[in-house]
Amino acid sequence: MSRKIIAAGNWKMNKTAKEAVEFVNALKERVADADSEVVVGVPFVCLPGVIEAAKGSNIKVAAQNMHWEEKGAFTGEVSGPMLADLGVDYVIIGHSERRQYFGETDETVNKKVHAAFKYGLKPIVCVGESLTQREQGVTAELVRYQVKIALLGLSAEQVKDVVIAYEPIWAIGTGKTATSEQAEEVCAIIRGCIKELYGSEVAEVIRIQYGGSVNAANASELFNMPDIDGGLVGGASLKLDDFEKIAKYNK
């Protein structure tokens, strides 16, 4: 069973709407022959321009967050129907920065994942341990727990369409990449957990990315590990040359 590698950029709070369109216009030529699925996760205000710029190309577009309710008194939030109406493909859910700075929990992640499916968006669900948790030896238990709660109540068919991003917090934005063996070990644990919960067919299909200081030099080794199906890329996704190389990790 071959899973399509997914190279997803997470721009975080970077680039204006104009800069975003310029970037995607340049990127689309460069990745036209990429074998990976290329995704850009952009700030909300960049979505309309980026979706327009990406039309007719092989670039898919992700939002970086969503609320689980359809509408209502939630100042500053953006809902699933709003994203779906724009033509957004993916939504990043439960990034560690959202858990750390905006109080997101495994339970809110689960609500958002359900809302994503309700409105036809594909969730990229982030999980991962802190340095302390790794040193305490609880990485496997923690990540299994995060995955289990994030997916609670989904059907097996829905789980096939989830992308899980394993992102050790100690490797995000630090330049400290997990070794390919460390990343593979946890991605394999996640796949094992999916197998226990949803069966082998789902476990073979679901894509599990690694994220944490992925760059042009290490993407190929990481993405070629048996249980790693691509990367969620922060810093390096903001640079055209680097993100092109990551998307074309096998060329």
Residues near ligand PEP (CB under 6 A) are 10, 12, 167, 172-173, 211-214, 232-236
Q: Tell me whether residue 90 or residue 198 sits nearer to ligand PEP (CB atom).
A: 90
Q: Tell me whether residue 113 or residue 202 sits nearer to ligand PEP (CB atom).
A: 113
Beta carbon of residue 238, minimum distance to ligand PEP (angstroms, whole number): 9
Strands 59-63, 122-127: pairing is unpaired
70 given a catalytic annotation: no
Beta carbon of residue 81, minimum distance to ligand PEP (angstroms, whole number): 26
Q: Tell me whether residue 5 or residue 214 sits nearer to ligand PEP (CB atom).
A: 214
Beta carbon of residue 232, minimum distance to ligand PEP (angstroms, whole number): 5
* DSSP string computed for 116-167: HHHTT-EEEEEE---HHHHHHT-HHHHHHHHHHHHHTT--HHHHHT-EEEE-
**Active-site residue, from 37, 67, 95, 104:** 95
Beta carbon of residue 167, minimum distance to ligand PEP (angstroms, whole number): 5
167 given a catalytic annotation: yes
**Closest CA relative to residue 159, chosen from 169, 175, 148:** 148
CA–CA gap between residue 146 and residue 131 (Å, rounded): 16
**Active-site residue, from 37, 97, 129, 167:** 167
Strands 163-166, 90-93: pairing is unpaired
CA–CA gap between residue 226 and residue 23 (Å, rounded): 31
Q: Tell me whether residue 230 or residue 235 sits nearer to ligand PEP (CB atom).
A: 235
Count CB neighbours of 72 within 10 A.
8
Contacts of 198 (CB under 8 A, 6+ apart): 156, 159
Task: Give the CB-nearest residue to ligand PEP.
Answer: 234
Q: Which residues are catalytic?
A: 95, 167
